[in-house]
Amino acid sequence: MNFSGLIDNFGPLTVTGLAQGAIYALFALGYTLVYGLLRLINFAHSEVFMMGTFAALITWGSLFGLDQNSATPGVGAVLAYLVIGLIAAIIVSGITAVVIELVAYRPLRRRNAPPLTFLITAIGASTVISELIGVITHRNLRGVPPLIKPANVVHFGNTSITNLELLIIVLALVMMAVLDTFINRTRLGRGVRAVAQNPDGAALMGVNKNRVISLVFLLGGLMAGIAAVMYVLKIGDTRYDAGFTLGIEAFTAAVLGGIGNLRGALLGGLVLGVAENWGAGLFGTQWHQVVAFVLLVVILMFRPTGLLGESLGRARV
Amino acid sequence: MRQGLVRALGGVAILAVIAGSAACNSTSKSSSSSGGKCGYELAFFGALTGSAANLGVNIEHGAELAVDQYNDKNGANCIKLDKADSQGSEQVAPGVARNLVTKKKLLGIIGPAFSGESAAADPIFDQAGIPMITPSATNPTLSTKGWKTFHRAVANDQNQGPAVANYIKDVLKAQKVFVADDQSAYGAGLADQVKAKLGSLVVGSDKTGGDGQQTDFSSVVQKIVASGATAFFYGGYYTNAGVLRKQLTQAGWKGVQLGGDGVNDPGYAEAAGNAAAAGSIVTLPAQPAAKAAGDFVSQYKAKWNVEPGTYSDTAYDAANMFLKGIDAGNTTTSKMNTFLSTINYEGVGNTYKFTSTGELDPSQLKIWAFKVDANGVPQPDQQVPTT
């Protein structure tokens, strides 16, 4: 164990962990929303994310001829590229999520299939999409244009936050606030909460259940699209299986915070990201997942429903 | 699904073998001159798909060129080269190996390409008595398991590790070095050799996930930046190495990254981006393929339309050693193995003699350092002493 390594690098490890955790959190929202509504673990969500990473890269590549060996464009152009990349990723991820719902889940729901069937179609949809992209891209890495020139914007002690890390963390917090407001304050959000609380009751009150379900998949897809752009900027590459390990981490974050709970997903993501980095600092990077999952088990032993408890329309409303 | 595909491909391969040997028999009947030499098989064993496939493809291309040239002289389909795709995976390799050893006409294996898959597949080949010449697996322990049919046509990491360390000390003159590896048999073995030789110059070390299993390296990057190291050695393959280099550059680290032969591939710059990859040092426990003797480079280019890559020339020589054995009438696996133990073969890349454990004769060991140029291509820089 390397206590001095952890203590000396405590600030930087925390900051990079928060940035990674923010990506987990945005990603985890898709799991948590769908679970909160349908009690369904949408394993294909990792592919919703992966499609978003490729959408951003292909947009930058085909529309603007940017590849990873391009020079960094000027600030104004970068902002435009970022917004366009985000829009492309959001659209593609959103569509992918809704299509998965329509093709893999809705027909089963109509026939009242048992929960196990949904699990299998989820894994099936996930494999189909990721293998398809794997074959199309020859399983190669695809590099990201250097859109953001790394620069330190905040300093305290030996810790500095780069512009990219700041962007990721702030964007995640903002999106979380927007989504939280949407679910809790708007009419559509009320519909989501109603279906989560009592699907039949909501239907009797005139809520269109299928539309609400599609909406929830769409919201999860949008958040995954944003996470995808943040991911490619941070990691610098994507591949057909980019969503796989990250999906497991994001799902873990959702459970850690309390699955079905939006704020829980944020907290769970950040805690997981930071814990992994602290674990890596203390024991070495090869231990980072061991540390994270031991932490998960310990937390769930004391709080079986996660840090903030399960709710989407339950407890808190 | 992928396994199903492998099985289907295996089935097709078997059919092709049957068809090929039938065709071969008919030609050998008609032409008496090449009668005893035809109808046999050699096999390439290594990754043709997967995250480190480029390395496997270089080797396969080199071996296939040798076999094609032999067949041009001795009749089409005289010797068949099986292409066994292990995906570079320790899990996939044993199944592929068991499939290969059932082939009665198989006289030799060019490969297995990587160290991890070698550890898994070599015992199967050894038990079946099939001679192997690996043109690329560099883990030192492979020659210590008592396998009678194992041969290595390049130097191993006991030579490559110290050579990397010598380059860091004598050429880069770095005072602080960080070492990390991917926990693979190859990566960890090489990193340990580098660490041992560098001694007190190592200011920190870490281990990452395996190839393709980790994409966020922020904790490693943070440790490297915080350690103040000016050189960073990564024991692993080119995909992880490239992603690491990219994230290091993003974090503002300006030092030199070094890697072993597993990083010596244009795929490194494809992952890192040319700007980040430029200036990195990668080694090769053999001579550069571009400096191979004779017409090898032009013949390779004519056939494959690309420059020969890492180990293409060694694989070409390995295949030619087997073909020379077949020419000399060594048409059983045990005769072939005896033939290899006494061989003294001057190929396009090196002169090959093997010790009793299957290692290359110490006088023939060569280690080269390459520098990645601005276009992301590793170019031969200088030969490095191994001690």
- Selected residue with higher pLDDT from B210 and A56: A56
Which one of A13, A234, A241 has the shortest CB-CB distance to B222? A13
| C-alpha separations of B102 from A94, B78, B83, B303, B330 in Å | 50, 20, 15, 31, 19
Which one of A16, A236, A239 has the shortest CB-CB distance to B246? A236
- H or E segment to which residue A238 belongs: strand A237-238
Q: Which residues of B touch A16 (CB under 8 A)?
A: 218-219, 221-222
Q: Which residues of B touch A7 (CB under 8 A)?
A: none
Please state, rounded to an integer, the average pLDDT across all residues of chain A.
91
| C-alpha separations of A52 from A83, A92, A138, B84 in Å | 14, 6, 18, 35
* Residue A19 phi, psi dihedral angles, 5° rounding: -65, -45
d(CA B272, CA A51): 21
Q: What is the reported pLDDT for B22?
A: 47
User: Percent of chain B having pLDDT more than 70?
Assistant: 91
- Tell me the pLDDT tens digit for each residue of B342-367: 999 999 999 999 999 999 999 899 99
Residues 6+ apart with CB under 8 A from B224: B178, B180, B204, B232, B248, B253, B255
ipTM, interface predicted TM-score of the complex = 0.88
- Tell me the pLDDT tens digit for each residue of B89-117: 999 999 999 999 999 999 999 999 999 99
Q: What is the reported pLDDT for B345?
A: 95
- Tell me the pLDDT tens digit for each residue of B174-202: 999 999 999 998 899 999 999 999 999 99
Lowest mean pLDDT among A96-100, B174-178, B214-218: B214-218
Q: What is the reported pLDDT for A149?
A: 84
Report the pLDDT averaged over residues B291-298: 92
d(CA B16, CA B11): 9
- Selected residue with higher pLDDT from A253 and A3: A253
The one-letter code for the residue type at A168 is I
- Tell me the pLDDT tens digit for each residue of B367-384: 999 999 999 999 999 999
- Tell me the pLDDT tens digit for each residue of A65-83: 898 888 888 889 999 999 9
Contact A285 B207 (CB under 8 A): yes
> Structure pTM?
0.83
Report the pLDDT averaged over residues A278-301: 90
Residues 6+ apart with CB under 8 A from B83: B13, B43, B44, B48, B60, B64
User: Percent of chain B having pLDDT more than 90?
Assistant: 78
- Tell me the pLDDT tens digit for each residue of A181-236: 999 999 999 999 999 988 889 999 999 999 999 999 999 999 999 999 999 999 99
- Tell me the pLDDT tens digit for each residue of B316-339: 999 999 999 999 999 999 999 999
Q: Which residues of A touch B271 (CB under 8 A)?
A: 141, 143, 237
d(CA B273, CA B81): 35
Q: Over 60: is that where the pLDDT of B213 sits?
A: yes
Structure tokens at B226: 């915080």
Q: What is the reported pLDDT for B29?
A: 40
Report the pLDDT averaged over residues A131-149: 90
Report the pLDDT averaged over residues A83-92: 96
Residue A154 Cα to chain centre, angstroms: 26
| C-alpha separations of B38 from A121, B67, B111, B330 in Å | 51, 12, 22, 12
- Tell me the pLDDT tens digit for each residue of B32-48: 344 578 999 999 999 99
Please state, rounded to an integer, the average pLDDT across all residues of chain B.
89
Q: Which residues of A touch B209 (CB under 8 A)?
A: 285-286
Which one of B226, B247, B270 has the shortest CB-CB distance to A9? B226
